[in-house]
Chain A
Amino acid sequence: MGTFIIRRIVWTIPVILLVIFMTFVLMRQIAGNPFRTSERNVPEEIQRNLERKFGLDKPWYIQYVTYVKNVATFDLGPSLVLRNRDVNDIVREHFPRSLELGGLAFLFAFVVGILVGALSGLRANSALDYGAMFLSNVGYALPSFLVATLFIYFFALEWDLGFPTSGWTTWQSKVLPVIALGLAPMAAFARLVRGTMLETLQQDYIRTAKAKGLRWRRVVGLHVLRNSLIPVITAAGPTLGFLITGSFVIEQIFAIPGIGRYYVTAVTARDYSVVMGLTVLLAIIVILANLFVDIMYGILDPRTRDARA
């Protein structure tokens, strides 16, 4: 187990370098001037000044090497568009919020999803099963911007329940965005749990346990739920990564000052340093999340450790 972990951690370094390289190349591929923000063109002298200031007048390989060197010292550079801010500042101020949003949404999805899935699985093919699955799937199937807008309209505006329409300050302001973001993963987890539960319940050893007279509670708790958790945990890695990086829609609509908004805006504005910096950061997180999942998997199911290593 130990070597497995160490090997994986060592592998993350070339992976990160590759991520930086790919992002760097891709961003340079798309046409676009980071310094032109409106229809008003940038006069030549000013364009030259700007390029000189940000080192964009140097050949691309020098830019790449300089960037990698900076990243190694944790200096992600200044933003090209937000002239008074560094990427480090942006990360420090906004990333924790996205982390909070994604983390809470994940918690919501995990807890509620498993509950709903377990209930449905135990009462398979009943009205409850179909009903619960249908309702949770609806949350997954509707586009998130629609769900978010409806949430704000009904829960914050029309029904006067004490939720603000936007922002990320009081705990009330966090409820709606968290649920809106967590609905889809919740439905996915519920279906996974239900499916695996159905499978496991059919299996001989469960029937054997029941026949032997083991308490139903123990049976379900120990064996069934634990087995059902495996696919959920497998799905958890990418889900967590997605929640943190893909929260743009929710952040935009709920006016949450998270990293998702900055990311998409930066790509559109060709703010190279912000895009690069955030990509590196998020890549590290996703890779670590996957690593964590793999480790969990290894612990829970020793047979597959070799297959996955």
Chain B
Amino acid sequence: MRIRTLWLMLATLVASLALVATGCGGSDDGGDAAGTGSSSGSTEEQTGGEAADQTITINWGTEPPSLDPGLASDTTSANILLNIMDPLVKLDDDLKPVPSLAESWDISEDGKTVTFNLSTEGAWTNGDPVTAKDFEYSWKRTISPELAADYAYQFYGIAGAQDYNGCKANCAAMADKVGVKAVDDQTLEVTLTTPQPWFIQQVAHHSFLAVHEPTIKQFGAKWTEAANIVTNGPFKLETWQHNSKIDIVKSEEWRDAANVKLTRVNGRMISDGTTAVQAFEAGEVDVTGTLPPEEIPRLKETEDYQQYPGLGTYTYGFNVKSITDVNQRKAMSLAINRREIIDNIAQADQLPATGWTPEGMPGYDTINPASPWLPENGDLEQAKTLMEQVSSPKKDITLLLNDSPGHRDIAVAVQAAWKELGLNVTIKQQEWAQFLEFIGPPPDKSIDVYRYGWIGDYVDAINFLELWTCESGNNSTNYCDPEYDKLVEDARKTQDNDARYEIYAELEDKLLGEDGAVPMSPIYFYTYVQLERPSVQDTLNLNLLDQSDLTKVVVTEG
């Protein structure tokens, strides 16, 4: 073979690749080709009017581990489920419960019995009507030990639920004793263990959705595949290619379909933040989250950037058995410069924490302690003074966190701050599952400080404050105060909201008040940031629980 021939071969190869790439570029192929504006319906016309094509492409981020309401435990699944199913209750902008499938509800005098009155218009996609029996079946299924549902504990407030969930024998009898009953097709009666004023809001959670019994019996674990699934909400699951895309379309059979404008949502699953931003900028998606913090300062300048407060707190927990002197904990808390961390590392305009319960929680104004130990810009002076008062300080600190880059950066900043106090901080970075094993509870003895975050399941502060009781399965600080536990019990029994908020304020005080135990040092309250095309920005919003109600979305022109 001559050299020339080899050359020719190489050149042809390169040239043909180039030709093919450029020449055939721009061809539309199911919305995956590049080019701007190929998927949304916006065109350059007068602003404000509805676009003809009510289709958007959303980047869901990750693959939902499950779309079974009994098994789903992450926000992506929750978000999709709440749009393809019909909950009994929804939350409005102030997070108050509003009727959805349940037209109304009654709470008994003692607060222990809640009765939901269902609309007659609920219908499954195969034509069956939605009845209270569906809810009774679904809730008992989620509580059943056979399903081994993660969120079964959400139902423990219902009489008999915890026993049934933990039962090892004779479980069928236990199932009958669970306090959920379909009195008739439209009436669902729930009996609680104690009065729980937040129960109605809790029912808005996706684990309280109904599932279609015949479908489950027919398909078993595969019932959530797009070909098999039967839903009852404003949208239907049309396509689910695992780890690739989830498309949902408007359900014309839904009881309120007339008010739903969006006809179709194409869903991608791009988990890498950098690629997600690139996909948005190339016009391939209209909405995306998972923005890398480093890109946020640049993206903030664009018109697509949107920010929402979230119901979550990012905190560093102390192992009070290891850092025993409360003054040292207070000093360490004072030394952290929250503003610097937020502006330079987290970069999404999070709110500096001034207590444990995040802003946006009902009753926040009463509850929030405005803790003196959480100064926004850090207070190194006072911190140093306090440190001197500590008789035998723990100088060698092991800070445990999981291996995500954002967490690591914050730890580096905190490490530098604590160095100023004369503390020698070792950052122990672990892989996720190991990190979770280490924090237990009980936390591994080697840990002095650990990184933690808590996102609300439902919108009542008890969800946050009950974490720090002695027996809580989520308290890795070894903090245990019987008085704190007693207050939590009192709160559970108090039906009047305002009175309850007062108790919450007391609890916060015990944690982070002037004389608080400071078992942890919250750093900021979460925000959720997204890139959204101007054509959907007004109507597409995230609530405090990182969910978007797609029935409200309207694609506008321009």
Contact = CB atoms under 8 A, between A and B. Distances in A.
A65 to B, nearest CB: 23
A119 B150 contact: no
Interface of A: 30-46, 48-50, 52-53, 78, 81-86, 90, 93-94, 111-112, 115-116, 118-119, 122-123, 149, 152-153, 156-157, 160-170, 172-173, 175, 216-217, 220-221, 225, 252-255, 257, 261-262, 268-270
A94 to B, nearest CB: 7
Contacts of B172: none
B67 interface: yes
Contacts of B129: none
B244 A119 contact: no
Given A38-B73, A81-B65, A83-B66, A162 B26 contact: yes
Contact of A167 (B9, B24, B27, B244): B244
Given A84-B66, A84-B67, A152-B275, A255 B436 contact: no
Interface in B126-168: 145-150, 152-153, 162, 165-166
Nearest to A31: B437
Q: Please provide the 8 A-B residue pairs with the shortest distance between their CB atoms, ordered closest to farther.
A: A162-B25, A32-B433, A45-B166, A257-B243, A49-B148, A41-B473, A255-B270, A257-B244
A257 B271 contact: no
A165 B282 contact: yes
Contacts of A83: 65-66, 68, 71, 221
Interface in B24-41: 24-27, 29-30, 32-35
23 contacts: A32-B436, A37-B150, A45-B152, A49-B152, A52-B145, A53-B148, A82-B63, A82-B66, A84-B68, A84-B71, A116-B10, A119-B10, A122-B3, A156-B282, A160-B35, A161-B25, A162-B27, A164-B32, A165-B278, A166-B270, A172-B21, A217-B2, A268-B432
Given A36-B436, A162-B21, A166-B275, A46 B153 contact: yes
Interface string B231-259: 00000000001111000000000000000
Contacts of A31: 433-434, 437-438
Nearest to B9: A115
Given A32-B437, A115-B13, A164-B33, A43 B153 contact: yes
Contacts of B148: 46, 49-50, 52-53
**Which of B147, B244, B474 has the largest number of chain A CB atoms within 10 A?**
B244
B91 to A, nearest CB: 20
A41 B441 contact: yes
Contact of B242 (A30, A93, A167): A93
A83 B241 CA distance: 16
Contacts of B10: 112, 115-116, 119
Contact of B24 (A123, A152, A162): A162
Interface of B: 1-3, 5-7, 9-10, 13, 17, 21-22, 24-27, 29-30, 32-35, 63, 65-68, 71, 73-74, 145-150, 152-153, 162, 165-166, 221-225, 241-244, 268-272, 274-275, 278-279, 281-282, 284, 431-434, 436-441, 452-454, 473-474
A192 B494 CA distance: 77
A253 B433 contact: no
Nearest to B65: A82
A257 B242 contact: yes
Contacts of A257: 241-244, 269
Nearest to B27: A162
Contacts of B473: 41-44
A161 B22 contact: yes
Contacts of B2: 216-217
Contact of B431 (A118, A162, A167, A268): A268
A39 B312 CA distance: 12
Given A32-B433, A157-B278, A164 B13 contact: no
A255 B29 contact: no
A170 B222 CA distance: 28
B32 A170 contact: yes
A118 B224 CA distance: 54
Contacts of B3: 119, 122-123
B326 to A, nearest CB: 24
Nearest to B5: A217
A253 B276 CA distance: 9
A156 B113 CA distance: 59
A166 B274 CA distance: 11
A165 B9 contact: no
A86 B220 CA distance: 12
A78 B25 contact: no
Contacts of A46: 148-150, 152-153, 165
Nearest to A81: B65
Given A33-B436, A84-B67, A119-B7, A165 B275 contact: yes
Contacts of B275: 149, 152, 165-166, 253-255
Contacts of B150: 35, 37, 42, 46
Contacts of A153: 278
Nearest to A175: B21
Nearest to B245: A167
B474 A41 contact: yes
A170 B271 contact: no
Contacts of B441: 41
Contacts of B281: 157
A170 B22 CA distance: 15
A49 B145 contact: yes
B66 A252 contact: no
A152 B280 CA distance: 12
A45 B271 CA distance: 33
